[in-house]
Amino acid sequence: MKKTYHLCLSSHDEVMFRSEYDLIRGFNALALACYETGSTLLAEAFLPSHFHCLVQTEDPLVLSAKVRYGYSRYFNFKYKRRGRLGEEKFFILEVDGFYHKLAATNYVLRQGLHHGVTPTPFAYPHSSSCSFFTKDLGKKTPAPQLGHSQQYKHLPKRVKLPDGWRMEESGLIFREDVLDVSQVESLYISPRNYLYHMNRIGDESGLLNEQSEEKSDSPLITAELIERGIPAFDLEKVLTGENNKYNPKKITDLELCEIIDGKYLTIYYPGKTLYEISVSERLNLSRILRSELWDNYHKTYFNYQMNRCFVI
């Protein structure tokens, strides 16, 4: 029997998704794992250091293993890396009850806002926040599709898209073909209510009260609980994002990784990935980059961010 779970895999000391395309392949790995296990995907969001998803499955451990295996094979081959990717275990939380599911879905879909990457959930492209009530919210034009003869480039070897699934020109499997859109929309009832939940600021007392009144064995869904799988989670930063203090000048992990991989490695270590150079060489490269960017960013956070992106 399928139950609803929140799954999260993080990589505290190492960026798991170093480019926009890595994030695309991450979603594709999740989509294919759901298909292989007969699981139902409700919501997801991928960030450079972790991802969240809300799924209905009979065995969350099997699903989690398939997602990690599928993406790790791609990542390790691309970057000439070895070993397990991400923390030792997924954070798995069973979610039961209408308002518990609503709260969990909210947190997953609002990840771009929570982590200060975008000013609204809808501006973050690597989540399913723009996949619901599309017609009512004016999102009528689907992305251009990729022909069947080109899809293999964005899938594991000897894997084909399931019947009825489409792929965007970017290589991303259409989210709407994977997600149970109607089930999620039934949680929000109307597009206006969906907008309300995506834009509500900070105060979750209403949802907490509604969860408390539900007959459910699940714990109350809060930001602290949902993000328990993230070792470096900082509630204060989430609240800062919630209160619309988004800083567009702050460099993101993704931008920093693309600078490292696309510029500095090309100049100083042409033909090599970050994992093919020694730790001392990474430290040297990080010093060069720090000297050029140091004056523009918050020092403490930037040091931590540099170490994570350089895998030091």
Query: What is the reported pLDDT for 145?
Result: 93
Domain shared by 195 and 269, yes or no: no
Domain shared by 140 and 177, yes or no: yes
Cα separation, 239 vs 219, in Å, equals: 21
Domain shared by 48 and 185, yes or no: yes
Q: Is the residue at 248 inside a domain? A: no
Number of domains in the chain: 2
Domain shared by 27 and 114, yes or no: yes
- Domain that includes residue 262, residue range: 253-309
Domain shared by 235 and 263, yes or no: no
Query: What is the reported pLDDT for 304?
Result: 80
Q: Is the residue at 201 inside a domain? A: yes
Kindly report the length of the chain: 312
Residue 310 makes CB contacts below 8 A (sequence gap 6+) with 260, 274, 282, 283, 285, 286
Domain shared by 234 and 261, yes or no: no
DSSP for 56-121 reads EES-HHHHHHHHHHHHHHHHHHHHT--S--S-SS-EEEE--SHHHHHHHHHHHHTHHHHTTSSSSG
Neighbours of 195 (CB within 10 A): 15
Of 202, 220, 242, the last residue of a domain is 242
Per-residue HEC secondary structure of 283-305 comes to: HHHHHHHHHHHHHHCCHHHHHHH
Domain shared by 159 and 62, yes or no: yes
Domain shared by 177 and 218, yes or no: yes
Q: Is the residue at 247 inside a domain? A: no
The enclosing H or E element of 181 equals helix 181-188
Domain shared by 128 and 159, yes or no: yes
Q: Is the residue at 68 inside a domain? A: yes
Query: What is the reported pLDDT for 114?
Result: 82
Domain CATH number, residue 43 = 3.30.70.1290
Cα separation, 98 vs 82, in Å, equals: 41
Q: What averages of pLDDT result for each successive group of 10 residues across the chain (312 residues)?
A: 94 92 98 98 96 97 97 97 91 94 94 86 95 90 88 93 95 97 97 92 70 86 78 61 62 90 94 95 90 62 82 89
Q: In DSSP terms, which residues pair with 52 in a beta bridge?
A: 8, 45
Domain shared by 46 and 181, yes or no: yes
Q: Is the residue at 46 inside a domain? A: yes
Q: Is the residue at 22 inside a domain? A: yes
Of 212, 242, 272, the last residue of a domain is 242
Of 214, 242, 270, the last residue of a domain is 242
Query: What is the reported pLDDT for 251?
Result: 81
Domain shared by 277 and 229, yes or no: no
Cα separation, 247 vs 175, in Å, equals: 28
Q: Is the residue at 42 inside a domain? A: yes
Q: Is the residue at 229 inside a domain? A: yes
In this structure, the strands spanning 3-10 and 40-47 are unpaired
Query: What is the reported pLDDT for 197?
Result: 92
Domain shared by 257 and 122, yes or no: no
